[in-house]
Amino acid sequence: MTTPLVTGVGMTRFGRHRGESVASLALAAARDALSDASLEAHDVDVVVFANATWGAMGGQHGIRGQLALTGLGLRPIPIINVENACCSATTAMQVATAYVQSGMATTALAVGSEVMTQAPLEELLAAFEGSWNVDDRDQTIERLTVWGKDTVIPTDAEELANRTVFMDIYAAFARDHMARYGSTREQLAAVSAKNHIHSVHNPRAQYQKPFTVDEVLAGRAVVWPLTIPMCSPVSDGAAAAVISSNARDPKRAVRILAQRIGHGGNWDGVDVTQHVSPRTAELAYSDAGVAPSDIDVAEVHDATAVGEIQQVEHMGLVPYGEGGLAAMRGETALGGRIPVNPSGGLESRGHPIGATGLAQIFELVTQLRGEAGARQVEGATLALAENSGGLVGVEEAAVAVTILESPER
């Protein structure tokens, strides 16, 4: 079977885009990716479009990709719409890759686009509510409340009134990690500070302001133990990737060694090795024929700082219980043993839900081409992306793991 290639990537800056739409941002990222691949719209055989909130916040529940990409100049080819919570964009890429691997397409385009900053607050909060079981809401809250029950919450801990339900979910994850391993708020802050420092060198990041650990800890409280700098912002933005069976410039074509998606809901919350993330990663490593120790750079789903701590452990990049310690020791920073989230991650690059997974691919392709400038991971040849979303039971509803290899030199 021919190894599929990422031949082009594109991305808008993430942030608040007043006057822009899902369509205008999608078109910008798609054109960027096609130009990067030295292709035109008429060269594309299939498009897979990702978006998670346009229905909840704009009422556009169907034909999203057909509407968003009307101005691209495509032939009358298939446009497939996917929605998979925060995992939507990577899901789009995997479907696009499957088209190329099967021989049904020579060139496929995956696009993710989201506008989240322009809707009323109640619509934004409702959009997040749709990514867990709305019929099991009270029971889910009860399960999360007892998580990390042995972690003492300060009696004077403050909470942000208008926050998404997923901040409470991640706070529960953080308290559970503290109870299991003795991790600390300082470790959470070390992860966050690292990612904010990384984003200073990323011109497409929503935030480009460095933070110290003390500044992160002093940030406004969201829900204990999280502060605002530890959490991903609400964002607008788009990203895209061209997947091909051949490349016009092989020296810039990144090889896709593995792509896996797993669904959660079966974990009992006890044995962490049975969580959906490590089980999905194990399959991806096997497909790629590599080990965690072979990975040179990673982008993981840090919707909050504890997300990075959990996922670097689940991916086998650091031992369980040491995700935060690794950040404090500098292991996951640029210049460290295994740089994680050189883009700034969701915490600082931003998190327009339906575009995030492809933004990770944009970063890793840029790294593997050696084109990342001041945030370049020297000598990077193997990269891993972990993108996850939603909640079923006490684990993510969907987890995607992608392993990429640098172009042939």
Q: Which residues are catalytic?
A: 86, 351
Q: How many CB atoms lie within 10 A of CB 269?
A: 14
Among 203, 241, 256, which Cα is nearest to 34's? Answer: 241
Residue 106: which residues within 8 A CB-CB, separation 6 or more? Answer: 45, 100, 244, 245, 246
Closest C-alpha among 113, 104, 57 to residue 78: 104
Which is nearest to 272 in space by CA: 194, 188, 181? 181
* Residue matched to tokens 């452990």: 313
User: The tokens 């079966």 sit on which residue?
Assistant: 266
Under 8 Å between Cβ of 301 and 84:
no
Q: Is 235 left (phi over 0), alpha (psi -120 to 50) or beta?
A: beta
Length of the chain: 409
Nearest to 53 by CA among 93, 29, 12, 25: 25
Strand partners, 389: 398
Structure tokens given for 279 = 């089980």
Identify residue 327 by its one-letter amino acid code: A
- Of 402, 11, 8, the C-alpha closest to 205 is 11
Q: How far apart are CA 356 and CA 108, in angstroms?
A: 19
Residue whose structure tokens are 């953080």:
174
Neighbours of 38 (CB within 10 A): 14
Helix (H, G, I), strand (E, B) or coil at 254: strand
Give backbone dihedrals phi and psi of 258, rounded to 5 degrees, phi first.
Answer: -160, 145
- Residue carrying structure tokens 């650990």: 213
Residue from 143, 155, 154 nearest 185 by CA: 154
107 torsion bin: left (phi>0), alpha (psi -120 to 50), beta (else): beta
